[in-house]
Structure 1
Amino acid sequence: MRRRLINSTLAVVLVVIAVFGLSLVVVETRTIQSGAQESVASEAVRLVGTVESRLSSGEKITPDVLSEQITANRYAEIKVPGKPPIEIGERPSDEVIESHADGERGESVTVQESRSTVSAEIGRTLLVILAVALLAVAAAVILAVRQARRLTAPLTDLAETAERLGSGDPRPRHRRYGVQELDRVADVLDASAERIARMLTAERRLAADASHQLRTPLTALSMRLEEITVTHDPETVKEEATIALGQVDRLSDVVQRLLTNSRDPRTGSAVAFDLDEIVKQQIEEWRPAYRSAGRAVVRSGTEDLRAVGTPGAVAQVLATLIENSLMHGAGTVALRTRVTGNQAVVEVSDAGPGVPPDLGSRVFERTVSGRNSTGLGLAVARDLAEADGGRLELLQQYPPVFALFLAREAEHSEG
C-alpha cells in the first residue's frame, strides 16, 4: 500500500508538472523570441535616428560612433545615399532575427541578431524550468513517503491489534492516529477487545464456579456412598441410597443453575420454601463426615420458617459454610435460625480459630483465602445468595459466625 500511495502521488505531481511545465515552456519561448524581435527593431529605429541627427548637423558618420548604439553580438548595416555602406559587428552566418528602418533623408538601417543567441537564452530558461520541476518532484517524493508512512503505520498497527485479538490477547491498546477513519477503526477494535475480555472473564469465572459448586455436592455424595460401602444392614443401605439419590437430584439442580447463570448471572428462580427442611437436609448430609472427624453438627433457633429464594442455591450456600467449618474450623458446628424484621436468618458458627483479622473485610473476594484453599467458596456462595435478593455476611470473626439473610414469605391473613 505504501508503494501505491507513493506512485499515485508522484503520478499526480508529474501530470501537473507536465501540463503546467509544457505551457510555461511555450509561453517563455514565445516571450523570449518576441522580446528579441522587439529589441532588434528598437535598435534599428535608434540607429536611424542617430544617423539622421548627425546628417542634419553635418557631423561625420563613422562605425566607431555608431557602434555605441548597438548591442554586442549584433550586426548592423547603415546605408546613406552617396556614401559607402557602413557595417558594425560581424554578419551572422546562420539564421537571423532582422529588423529594417528607413530615415527621412533616404538613409536605411538593417539590424540582425543570430537566432543561436536567442536559442541559447531559451535553453537557459528551459534549464531553470527543468531544475524547478526536478525540485518539485523531489519534494513530492519526500512528502509522498512521509504521507505513506503516516497512513500505513497506523494500518500496520491496527493489523497487529486485530492479530492479537485473534490470538487470544484481548487487551485494548487505546491508540489514536489523528485520522478520523483510522481512529474509528481503532475505537471498534478496542470495543471488541473489551467485549472479548468480558466474555473470557465470564467463561473463566463460570468454569471456576462450576468446579467449586460441583465439588461440594460430589463430596457429600461421595461420603454417602462410603457409608453404603461400610455397612451390611440392608435397611441402612436403602436409606443411604435414597439420600444419595436426593443428592444426585440436587447435583442436577446445581448444573442447571450454572447453565442458567452462564446466560444471565443475575437470574434467579426464587420461590417460597421450607427453610427448616433445607437446614435439616444439610445436617443429615454432613453428619457422617463430622462423625468421622470426631465432631458434631447441630441446629437450634426458630422453627417453622418459610423463606423466599432458590432452594438449591440456599442448600449450596449452607453446604459451603458447613464444609468450610469442617475443613478450617473446630469443635461443634451450630446452625441457628432466627427472624429479624421481615428476614429469615441462618447462622453457621464453630469453635475454630475464625477469620484472620487482615482478611475480615475481604473474605468474600475471589481468590482471597487464608488457609491454602481456592478462595472461591465464599465468593460463589455470596453470589448465589444475592441472585435471589438475599445476602451472606460475616457477623463475627472469632469465633466465626456467618449469616445467610433471606426474605420471609409474606403472611396472608384470613378475613
Structure 2
Amino acid sequence: MRRRLINSTLAVVLVVIAVFGVSLVIVETRTITSSAQDRIGSEALRLLGVVEADALEHRRVDAGSLSEQLDVGTYARITLPGQPTVEVGERIADNVIRGTARGEQGEVVVVEESRSTVTREVGRTLAVVGAVALLAVVAAVLLAVRQANRLASPLTDLAETAERLGSGDPRPRHKRYGVPELDRVADVLDASAERIGRMLTAERRLAADASHQLRTPLTALSMRLEEITVTDDLETVREEATIALTQVERLTDVVERLLTNSRDPRTGSAVPFDLDEVVKQQVEEWRPAYRSAGRAIVRSGKTGMRAVGTPGAVSQVLATLVENALMHGGGTVALRTRVTGNQAVIEVTDEGPGVPPDLGNRIFERAISGRNSTGIGLAVARDLAEADGGRLELLQSQPPVFALFLSRTAPERAEPERTVR
C-alpha cells in the first residue's frame, strides 16, 4: 500500500509539473524573445536619435563615435541620403534579432544582435524551472512517504489487532491515529475486543461452573449405582434405582440451568415447595458417602416447613454445603431447619476446623478457597440462592455454620397495567 500511495502521489506531481512546466517554458521563451526584440528596437531608435542630432549640427556621422553608443556584441548599419553606409561593430552572420528605425530625412538605422543571448536567457530560465521541478519532486516524495506511513502504519496496526482477536487475544489497544476514518475502525475493533473478552470470560465461567456443578450429582449417582451392583435384594435395588432416577432429574436440571446461564425470580421459577423433602433427600443421598468416610450426617430442627424457591436450586446449594463439609470438615454434619420471621433457614454445620479467620465472608468469592479447592462451589451456591430471592451466609467460622435463608411467602406478581380509554 505504501508503494501505491507513493507512486500515485508522484504520478500526480509529475503530471502537474509536466503541464505547468511546459506551459511556463513556452510562455517564458516567448516573453524573453519579445523582450529582446523590443530592446533591439529601442536601441535602433536611440541610435537614430543620435544620428539625427549629428545631422542637424552638420557633424559627420563617424563609426568610432557611434561604437560607444552600442553594447558589446551588437552590430549597427546606418544609411544616410547621399552618404556612404556606416557600419558599427562586427557583422553577425545569421540567426540574428533585428531592429530597424527610419528618420524623417530618410535616415535608416538597423541594429542586429545574435539570437544566442536569447538562447542563453531561455537556458537560464529552463535551469530555474528544472530546479524548481526537482525540488517539487523531492518535496512530493517526502510528503508521499510521510502520508503513506501515516495511512499504512495504522492499517498495519489495525490488521494486527484483528489478527489478535482472531487468535483469541481480546485485549483492546485503545490506540488512535488522528484520522477520523481509521479512528472509527479502531473504536469498532476495541468495542469488539471488549465484547469478545466478556464472551470468553462468560464461556470460561460457564465451563468452570459446569465442571464443578455436575461433579456432585454425578458422584452421588455413581455411589447409588455402586450400591445397586453390590446388593442382591430386589427391594434395595428398586429403592436405590428410584433415588438414582431422582438424581438424574437433578442432573438434568443442573444442565438446563447452566445452559440458561441466568434466571429471574419474576419469571415464575421460584415456587412454594416442601422443604422437608429437599432436606431429607440430601441426607439420604449423602449418607452412604459419610458412612464410607466413617462419619455421620443428621438432620434436626423444625419440620413441616414450606419455602419459596426452586427445589432443584435449593438441592444444589445444600449439596454444595454438604460436600464441602465432607471434604474439608470433620465429625458429624448436621442440617438444622428453623424459622426466623418470614424466612425459613437451613443451617449446615460440622465439627471441623472451620473457615480460616482471614477469609471470613470472602469464602463466597470466586477463586477464594481455604483448602486448595477450586473456590467455585460456594460462589455458585450463593448465586443460586440469590436467584431464588434468598441468601447464603456464613453465620459462624469455627465451628463452621452456613445458613441458607429462603422466603416462606411467594413474591407478589405485578399486575399488568390496564389502559383506560
Please confirm whether the aligned pair reaches a TM-score higher than 0.5, indicating the same fold: yes
Within 5 Å, which residues of 2 pair with 1:28-39?
28-39=28-39
Secondary structure of 1:90's counterpart equals coil
Structure 1 residue 265: Cα displacement: 5.7
Give me the whole-angstrom Cα distance separating, in 2, the residues matched to 1:15 and 1:238.
95
Q: Which residue of 2 aligns with 1:369?
A: 369
Secondary structure of 1:190's counterpart equals helix
- Determine whether 1:6 maps to 2:1: no
1:329–1:352 Cα contact (<8 Å) kept: yes
Give me the whole-angstrom Cα distance separating, in 1, the residues matched to 2:70 and 2:307.
124
- The AA in structure 2 aligned to 1:253 is D
Structure 1 residue 34: Cα displacement: 0.7
2:308–2:410 Cα contact (<8 Å) kept: no
- Determine whether 1:113 maps to 2:107: no
Displaced runs of 4+ in structure 1, greater than 4 A? Answer: 265-268
Give me the whole-angstrom Cα distance separating, in 2, the residues matched to 1:356 and 1:65.
126
Structure 1 residue 217: Cα displacement: 0.8
- Determine whether 1:321 maps to 2:321: yes
Secondary structure of 1:70's counterpart equals coil
1:41–1:99 Cα contact (<8 Å) kept: yes
2:272–2:410 Cα contact (<8 Å) kept: no
Give me the whole-angstrom Cα distance separating, in 2, the residues matched to 1:86 and 1:243.
143
CA spacing shift, 1:394–1:59, aligned 2, 3 Å? farther
Within 5 Å, which residues of 2 pair with 1:54-133?
54-133=54-133
Deviations 1:141-182 (A, max 9, x none): 111111111111111111111111112222211111111111
Secondary structure of 2:367's counterpart equals coil
Secondary structure of 2:394's counterpart equals strand
Structure 1 residue 60: Cα displacement: 4.7
Within 5 Å, which residues of 2 pair with 1:319-358?
319-358=319-358
CA spacing shift, 1:183–1:88, aligned 2, 3 Å? same
1:360–1:397 Cα contact (<8 Å) kept: yes
Structure 1 residue 209: Cα displacement: 0.9
Q: Which residue of 2 aligns with 1:208?
A: 208
Give me the whole-angstrom Cα distance separating, in 2, the residues matched to 1:310 and 1:260.
15
Q: Which residue of 2 aligns with 1:398?
A: 398
Q: Which residue of 1 aligns with 2:417?
A: none
Give me the whole-angstrom Cα distance separating, in 2, the residues matched to 1:183 and 1:411.
50
Secondary structure of 1:101's counterpart equals strand
Give me the whole-angstrom Cα distance separating, in 2, the residues matched to 1:107 and 1:316.
131
Query: Unaligned 5+ residue runs, structure 1?
Result: none
Secondary structure of 2:235's counterpart equals helix
Q: Which residue of 1 aligns with 2:182?
A: 182
CA spacing shift, 1:294–1:397, aligned 2, 3 Å? same
Secondary structure of 2:190's counterpart equals helix
CA spacing shift, 1:265–1:133, aligned 2, 3 Å? farther
- Determine whether 1:304 maps to 2:311: no
Task: Report which stretch shifted further, 359-368 or 313-322.
Answer: 359-368
Structure 1 residue 266: Cα displacement: 5.3
- Determine whether 1:23 maps to 2:32: no
Structure 1 residue 411: Cα displacement: 11
Give me the whole-angstrom Cα distance separating, in 2, the residues matched to 1:60 and 1:349.
145
Give me the whole-angstrom Cα distance separating, in 2, the residues matched to 1:411 and 1:171.
42
Structure 1 residue 410: Cα displacement: 4.3
Give me the whole-angstrom Cα distance separating, in 1, the residues matched to 2:309 and 2:115.
110
Within 5 Å, which residues of 2 pair with 1:124-143?
124-143=124-143
1:391–1:405 Cα contact (<8 Å) kept: yes
TM-score (norm 2): 0.92
Q: Which residue of 2 aligns with 1:360?
A: 360
Q: Which residue of 2 aligns with 1:40?
A: 40
1:345–1:406 Cα contact (<8 Å) kept: yes
Q: Which residue of 1 aligns with 2:235?
A: 235
Structure 1 residue 311: Cα displacement: 0.7
Give me the whole-angstrom Cα distance separating, in 1, the residues matched to 2:60 and 2:185.
91
CA spacing shift, 1:410–1:41, aligned 2, 3 Å? closer
Secondary structure of 1:97's counterpart equals strand
CA spacing shift, 1:122–1:231, aligned 2, 3 Å? same
Structure 1 residue 237: Cα displacement: 3.0
Give me the whole-angstrom Cα distance separating, in 1, the residues matched to 2:391 and 2:60.
131
Structure 1 residue 224: Cα displacement: 2.3
Secondary structure of 2:362's counterpart equals coil
2:41–2:111 Cα contact (<8 Å) kept: yes
Secondary structure of 2:29's counterpart equals helix
CA spacing shift, 1:265–1:136, aligned 2, 3 Å? farther
Give me the whole-angstrom Cα distance separating, in 1, the residues matched to 2:356 and 2:151.
58
1:331–1:351 Cα contact (<8 Å) kept: yes
Within 5 Å, which residues of 2 pair with 1:242-321?
242-261=242-261, 264=262, 269-321=269-321
Give me the whole-angstrom Cα distance separating, in 1, the residues matched to 2:321 and 2:45.
123
Structure 1 residue 65: Cα displacement: 2.4
1:43–1:69 Cα contact (<8 Å) kept: no
Give me the whole-angstrom Cα distance separating, in 1, the residues matched to 2:149 and 2:330.
70
Structure 1 residue 5: Cα displacement: 1.3
Deviations 1:284-341 (A, max 9, x none): 1111222222222222222222212111111000000001001101122121222233
CA spacing shift, 1:136–1:265, aligned 2, 3 Å? farther
Deviations 1:177-210 (A, max 9, x none): 1111111111111111122222221111111111
2:367–2:375 Cα contact (<8 Å) kept: yes
Give me the whole-angstrom Cα distance separating, in 2, the residues matched to 1:176 and 1:20.
39
- The AA in structure 1 aligned to 2:135 is L
Deviations 1:365-400 (A, max 9, x none): 222111121111111111211222222121221111
Secondary structure of 2:364's counterpart equals coil
Give me the whole-angstrom Cα distance separating, in 1, the residues matched to 2:29 and 2:245.
108
Give me the whole-angstrom Cα distance separating, in 2, the residues matched to 1:102 and 1:277.
137
CA spacing shift, 1:153–1:216, aligned 2, 3 Å? same
Q: How many residues align?
A: 410
